[in-house]
Structure 1
């Protein structure tokens, strides 16, 4: 456990956006004792809390409250190497069998990318012997074929009809509510349609580090990405950075 006594941390009530400032009062075995600085009136035993230190995220369950001290049972953890943002988009998660190292992450489809790229060619005709009108028609046809193929790829991966879910995501993992319970250390396939511009479909392999029941017959689930290609991770990181900038701009606008 890399967290230390006296360290300042941020507690996030999952899946709600509420946050609390706290400090580590004590650590014993797999238990964490936090002194909550913002009060505990909204906390209840059984709630799930994400405890963020400088280097790690800890997935915990609140087991007891006494005055301002929250007693948490640590259920899992992951390195806090990347920005984590909250958003809503289509996700498909399935358990996989066999050796996860034999599977690779991939970009399923950069949906709509042709639309942005092709527009640059509508002005620049590559050969003076080609009619600009004919060239534009060819570009439009090629663009539409590309979009149709992208959509077919996404449909084949189940993302076009996948339910949109509220997620907390970073370059190292994702956390969300699911109707299916997974066991700790289950290897899973995570397919996501990231709402970038244009939207990007990605498929990554991960391991379950948390799966706990919450109200409404759902399971608070955290997955740490494993065996991920750097190109795919870069796409996720670029998305999280863009999402973070949008959130900061929105917050400034409210002030």
Structure 2
């Protein structure tokens, strides 16, 4: 769990009947004390809430309430979803007026309909190797065409902080908390995988670079399919292992 003391968060009930900002006052193991902006009316002990930090969303249960303070317990879930990495990825983002389910943009090899058939019982090793090489090149060419059509340029990358629950990056478009942002990005897996997903803006910080305004946004992914979510989890775990291995080699 990566929630820091004094950090600003957004809390909401599962049914959407309560949504407000809060400040983290104290953290002890999996219990967090939150100071709510305004009144805690509408939140009761045993209610389930979501705590959004800008990079991730945690599910919690209210264990105590006093005036505008809540004591909540974070629910243990699939911790893989909360692994976060700093990376540089080809990303195209824009404000959207609607939400759709996330989807793959690039061809997933094991699901591809364009690959040449390979006979697993073939004893011709040279032919097998040639067919596999041709299929890899077909995957690459088809994916490049798809990425071009979707407006994703592999030579234009953004610095991102990514997990399977959300991401943080800079965008030139003026966005506000609650806005929906469409994100298209390529994960440099093996082979590379491009996805389209949507996120709700839960944090915005206005910055400036070379005299131009920029907006550092924290998104909470919405309507994410399990397939896309698992792809992001596997990529973040792989990248995290690579980072740890590199640090060990530098010691």
The separation in 1 between residues aligned to 2:245 and 2:135, in whole angstroms, is 36
1:2-54 deviation line (CA, Å, top 9, x unaligned): 97643269xxxxxxxxxxxxxx9x864449xxxxxxxxxxxxxxxxxxxxxxx
Query: Paired residue for 2:104?
Result: 107
Per the TM alignment, residue 141 of structure 1 is displaced from its structure 2 partner at its CA by 4.6
1:110–1:198 contact (8 Å) kept in structure 2: no
TM-score of the pair, normalised by structure 1: 0.62
Distance 1:6 1:147, change over 3 A: closer
Size of the aligned set, in residue pairs, is: 191
1:111–1:147 contact (8 Å) kept in structure 2: no
Query: Paired residue for 2:145?
Result: 152
The separation in 1 between residues aligned to 2:90 and 2:34, in whole angstroms, is 38
Work out whether 1:204 is the aligned partner of 2:197.
Answer: yes
The separation in 1 between residues aligned to 2:24 and 2:201, in whole angstroms, is 25
Query: Paired residue for 1:254?
Result: 250
2:105–2:194 contact (8 Å) kept in structure 1: yes
Work out whether 1:78 is the aligned partner of 2:78.
Answer: no
2:52–2:220 contact (8 Å) kept in structure 1: no
1:71-112 deviation line (CA, Å, top 9, x unaligned): xxxxx97328511111001001122224x2xx2211111478
Tell me the SS of whatever aligns to 1:184. coil
User: Residue 180 of structure 2 is aligned with which of 176, 187, 193?
Assistant: 187
Query: Paired residue for 2:42?
Result: none
The separation in 1 between residues aligned to 2:248 and 2:128, in whole angstroms, is 45
Per the TM alignment, residue 139 of structure 1 is displaced from its structure 2 partner at its CA by 5.4
1:134-159 deviation line (CA, Å, top 9, x unaligned): 77666555543332221111111111
Tell me the SS of whatever aligns to 2:205. strand
The separation in 1 between residues aligned to 2:25 and 2:135, in whole angstroms, is 61
2:89–2:185 contact (8 Å) kept in structure 1: yes
Work out whether 1:7 is the aligned partner of 2:4.
Answer: no
TM-score of the pair, normalised by structure 2: 0.62
- Residue ranges of structure 1 left out of the alignment (5+ in a row): 10-23, 32-54, 60-75
Work out whether 1:230 is the aligned partner of 2:226.
Answer: yes
Tell me the SS of whatever aligns to 1:228. coil
Distance 1:207 1:138, change over 3 A: same
Tell me the SS of whatever aligns to 1:215. strand
Distance 1:137 1:27, change over 3 A: closer
1:190-244 deviation line (CA, Å, top 9, x unaligned): 1111122221111112111122202322111111100011000000000010111
Q: How is 1:235-246 mapped onto 2 (pairs within 5 angstroms)?
A: 235-246=231-242
